[in-house]
A and B are shown apart, each in its own frame.
Chain A
Amino acid sequence: MAKDTNSNHADQYYKAKKKEEMKHQVITFALMIVFTIIAFGLVIGEFDKLFVFPVLLVLAAVQVGFQFYYFMHMSHKGHEFPALMIYSGIFAAILTILALTTITWV
């Protein structure tokens, strides 16, 4: 019986925590929609290329960060290995893109 009351408390605690997380995820979603609209707006507004490109890339990087940390739970405990894998992947990805765009076909 004592065990049941304990787990009940734990249930309540986790439930509140999951609700809180859900709230963050909905806010994240709203921000991603806003960022997407800004990105499309910048292109439709025909601003200068030198201004638009860096802003677009930053908006994309932030959106991807949101996906990883909030939607895919990388902000939670126990995600050291996932972070290591993704950051190694991003490191190799940047090298690959640099190599292909600067050396290989130029």
Chain B
Amino acid sequence: MSTHEDVLSSENLPHEPEKATLEGKNKFLGFWFFLGGETVLFASLFGTYLALKNSFGAAEHTTPSQELFGLELVFIMTMLLLTSSLTSVYAMYHMKNHDFKKMMVWLGITVLLGAAFLGLEIYEFYHYVHHYHHTFTSSAFGSAFYTLVGFHGAHVAFGLLWIITLMIRNARRGLNLYNAPKFYVASLYWHFIDVVWVFIFTVVYLMGKVG
């Protein structure tokens, strides 16, 4: 009984608690497998967008991407997401030092930055729909744009819910070998969201602005 408690208590955590158990190792490997699949999934959406970005069909209101996109908002969104990636690195740094409280604080900051990003993205979409009539059904460009960027936004929303759930669920438990892999994997997911965003702001917004 007491040995079991020892293993799970936060004073005796091993180095790299996220990979100390077989379950943790499996989560780690399985999650990277999943990220490989996600890469291909997003590639198919990027490929679709690139192929259809100049297809407006017989749309009544057509606004090409050069006029549509505003770089100020995208720049702020990029900075928010990039910073949230760093704050989740800080969270994992404290996890590896077995400091549960500091990890929770940095995860909380990550969630706030992610929520700000999502809020700006919703505002952006609202702006496009109401001022430019750029909707999901207005043209092939619209469909491809909202599918790609919206799918990324849905990933951000899912990541936020995931991290918040983990924080609430484990708030009173403290850090142990059972939940350390869960926090670690969630932070990997959060970094991957930023990886996808790097290509979205480059390929969709910056290249779209150039033409």
B39 surroundings in chain A (CB, below 8 A): 86, 89-90, 92-93
Q: Which of A49, A86, A104 makes the CB contact (< 8 A) with B36?
A: A86
A96 touches B35 (CB 8 A): no
B40 touches A86 (CB 8 A): no
B interface SS class: helix
B71-79, B116-124, B157-165 - the one binding chain A: B71-79
A14 surroundings in chain B (CB, below 8 A): 15, 96
A25 touches B47 (CB 8 A): no
B51 touches A33 (CB 8 A): no
Interface residue count on the B side (C-beta < 8 Å): 47
Question: Which chain B residues numbered 73 to 104 have a C-beta less than 8 Å away from chain A?
Answer: 75, 78-79, 82, 85-86, 89, 93, 96-97
B202 beta carbon closer than 8 Å to chain A: yes
A105 touches B29 (CB 8 A): no
B96 touches A100 (CB 8 A): no
Question: Which chain A residues numbered 75 to 94 have a C-beta less than 8 Å away from chain B?
Answer: 78, 81-82, 85-86, 88-90, 92-94
B35 surroundings in chain A (CB, below 8 A): 82, 85-86, 89
Distance in angstroms from A18 CB to nearest chain B CB is 6
**The 5 residue pairs across chains A and B that have the minimum distance between CB atoms:** A100-B47, A93-B43, A89-B39, A89-B36, A85-B36
Q: Which residues of B contact A (CB under 8 A)?
A: 15, 19, 28-29, 32-33, 35-40, 42-44, 46-48, 50-52, 71, 75, 78-79, 82, 85-86, 89, 93, 96-97, 188, 191-192, 194-195, 198-199, 201-203, 206-207, 209-211
Q: Which residues of A contact B (CB under 8 A)?
A: 10, 14-15, 18, 21-22, 25-26, 29, 32-33, 36, 39-40, 42-44, 46, 49, 52-53, 56-57, 59-60, 63-64, 67-68, 71-72, 78, 81-82, 85-86, 88-90, 92-94, 96-101, 104-106
